[in-house]
A and B are shown apart, each in its own frame.
Chain A
C-alpha cells in the first residue's frame, strides 16, 4: 500500500478528514476533535502499530492547542501524523491508552507541560517538574526569560 492508497482509504472512510502526502513516507491527516479516535483506530488497523510520539503545538494567536499523534507503519514504511485542535482554555481530551498502552507517559507530560487533561489516564501526576508552582511552562504565555530573571536573577545581555 502506498501513501496515496492510504490517503484514499482515509478519505473514503472519513470524509471530514483532510489528508496530505507532503513527501514520500509521510502522511498528515487532520480531523476535528471528535473524529480523532476513529482516525487512530483506522490507522492502527491499517498497520500503524507504533506510536512514536504525541506532540502539542501552542497556537496562541488562534486560541487553540494542536495535538499531533505520530504513528509509524513498519509494513508500508510510512510515518503518519494525526492531528486535531482543542481549545486553549481548560483543554481536555480523551486518553488513547486503550489503543496504545504507552500513551500514558506522553499524555502525562502534556498534562504538566500544557495543562491538558486526558480523561481516562490514571496517572496524570507530575513527571518532569517537581513541585512546580507556575503555569504549565510549554504554553506560549509562559515567558521564559522573565521567569529566569525573577527566579534566578539572570537576564540576557546584548552585545
Chain B
C-alpha cells in the first residue's frame, strides 16, 4: 500500500461519518421552512438519512437555506455560517436562493445566494417536495465522498470576493462597519425624502 492509498483509507471513515450525520442548523430562513417539519417528523423521517435538526450552528454541519433571503436575514445567515465549524455544507432550498424566484424584482431580497456564501447544492422548486430534499441529501453524500463538497474551503480561499459582495448589500454589518452592531437598527437621522 503506498502513501496515497493509506491517506485515502484514513479519510474514508471521516467522510463516512460526515455524510451520514448531516446535522441541519435550525434556522427558518424563508417560506421553504414549511416542508422541513414534515421532513423531520414521522411520515418522511429524515433521521434515517442521518439528518436531524440541530439547535446551534456550533454543532451543525448542514445549512439549509429554505426559501428567499431578505437583506436582514442575509446578515443573520452570514453570522450563522461563520459560526459553523468546518467542514460545513450549504444547500439552497427552493427557487429563490437560485435566482430570486418569485421575488426577482424585490428591493429587499437577494437574488443569487452563492455570491454571498458558497453553496454546495441547489434544490429547485417552489415548493420543493420532501422527496427532493432526500435526493439532494444523497447527491450531497456523493459530493462529500468525492471531495467536491468543498464550499467551506472556497469560502476561505475567496474570502475577499465573498466579503466584497456582502459589503455591497450589507455595508452596516459588524465585520465591515466595525464596533458593536445592535439587532434593532437605530433610526437614521432623517429618512431621505425626494426633492
Residues on A facing B (Cβ under 8 Å)? 89-90, 111-112, 115, 124-126, 129-137, 139, 141-142, 144-145, 147-148, 151-154, 156
CB distance from B136 to the nearest CB of A (A): 25
Q: Give chain B's interface residue range (CB within 8 Å of chain A).
A: 20 to 34
B186 pairs with A125, CB closer than 8 A: yes
- Cα A132 to Cα B170 with chains together (Å): 10
Choose the segment among B3-11, B14-22, B99-107 that binds chain A (4+ C-beta atoms closer than 8 Å): B99-107
B191 pairs with A136, CB closer than 8 A: yes
Main SS of chain B's interface residues? loop
Main SS of chain A's interface residues? loop
B100 pairs with A131, CB closer than 8 A: no
Decide: A134 near B185, CB < 8 A? Known: A129-B108, A145-B105, A147-B107: no
A135 pairs with B107, CB closer than 8 A: no
Most buried by A among B111, B188, B191: B191
- Cα A22 to Cα B172 with chains together (Å): 49
Decide: A152 near B111, CB < 8 A? Known: A126-B185, A126-B187, A131-B185: yes
- Cα A62 to Cα B105 with chains together (Å): 27
Which chain B residues (156-191) contact chain A, with CB distance < 8 Å?
169-172, 184-188, 191
Closest 5 CB pairs of A and B: A130-B72, A125-B187, A148-B105, A131-B172, A152-B111
